[in-house]
Each structure stands twice: as structure tokens, then as C-alpha cells.
Amino acid sequence: MPAAQPLPILCFPDPRLHTVARPVAAVDERIRLLVDRMFATMYEANGIGLAATQVDVHERLVVIDVSEERNQPMVLINPEIEWASPEKRKGEEGCLSVPGIYDGVERSIAVRVRALDTAGQSRTVEAEGMLAVCIQHEMDHLLGKVFVEYLSPLKRDRIKSKLLKAQREAQRA
């Protein structure tokens, strides 16, 4: 099977990143093809997760692989948080849609999520550590939320200016 074609990733402050995704209506061949292309995009960019929002598809679908060996793909379709630990921890985050920016975000240290897999089967995932952080980060994307929105307005504006300038310069080159 030929490797799927990666998709372009939207970059902050692209307004399309603030679109609220709708549920996937049916887990069909179109969705499985999109999943393949999202994994190709995520692995090419060396990310640990990717939400459909980031490739300008506004449906509730994320792909994740937090493994060192890059061989534990996970697909969450129509994910819903069933439980999130009240205990939170602040950890350094980055985002493929906010290249080169890293900052601390508070997240629940553990979550339980219910989602469909690529066979359309409902499953629950219990996560802690990096996987729990990644799931919460990806589910925010589906709600149109980028991690920089947790930072102070001053920091967010500086990040916005920096990325807009970088995008203008990339355009000219």
C-alpha cells in the first residue's frame, strides 16, 4: 500500500483553527482515508498528535502516537471526556500549528475518554502522563482552542506577531 499523502497544517493565528468541529456522521472509507493522511501528516511533522481541525477538516477526529518508536497509532473519533482527574499539573506544551513556541499549560493528570475506532466500535481509553496531556490538547483543537489561549494576552499577542512575521517572510522567500 503506498504511503498516504500528508496534508498542509494550518498555522496560528489562522482563524480556521477556531472552528468548532462537528461529530463524524459515519465511520466510512472517506474517514479511514482521512485518518491515513492525518497519520502521514503527523509522522512527517514529528508530532505526537494531530486533530482534524489542524488540516482544515472540521469533524471530531484525532490521531495520536506518543510512543518513542512511533509505532502505537491511536485514533479517536467523536471523543468525549468521561472523567478528568481534579488533580492538575503544569507541563510544557508545543503545537504543530504554533511552530517553535513552547509554554506551560495546566492539564488534568489523568482522563478517561470514550471514542469510536476506525471500525466504528466504541471504546474507552484511560490515560495518564503524556497521553493524557495529548488527548486534552487534541480535544481542545476540536473545540477551536489552541494552547496559546491559556497564556496571558501579552504572551499570546507576542506569539501572534512573531508567527505572522515568520509567515510573511516565508511568503516572500
Residues 69 to 98 in contact with Ni ion, rule: CB under 5 A: 95
Residue 44 cell numbers, joined: 512527517
Question: Residue 162: CB partners within 8 Å, gap ≥ 6?
Answer: 101
Question: Residue 146: CB partners within 8 Å, gap ≥ 6?
Answer: 12, 17, 18, 95, 97, 98, 140
In the chain, what is the straight-line distance between the N-terminal and C-terminal CA atoms, in Å? Answer: 36
95 binds ligand GNR, rule: CB under 6 A: yes
CB of 18 to Ni ion, least distance (A): 13
Residues 31 to 60 in contact with ligand GNR, rule: CB under 6 A: 47-51, 54
21 binds ligand GNR, rule: CB under 6 A: no
Taking the C-alpha atoms of residue 132 and residue 25, their distance in angstroms, rounded to an integer, is 26
Taking the C-alpha atoms of residue 37 and residue 7, their distance in angstroms, rounded to an integer, is 7
Residue 138 annotated as catalytic: yes
Taking the C-alpha atoms of residue 95 and residue 112, their distance in angstroms, rounded to an integer, is 22
CB of 62 to ligand GNR, least distance (A): 8
Residues 98 to 137 in contact with ligand GNR, rule: CB under 6 A: 133-134, 137
CB of 157 to ligand GNR, least distance (A): 20
65 binds ligand GNR, rule: CB under 6 A: no
Report the interface residues with ligand GNR, using CB under 6 A.
Answer: 47-51, 54, 93-97, 133-134, 137-138, 141
Known catalytic residues?
138
Report the interface residues with Ni ion, using CB under 5 A.
Answer: 95
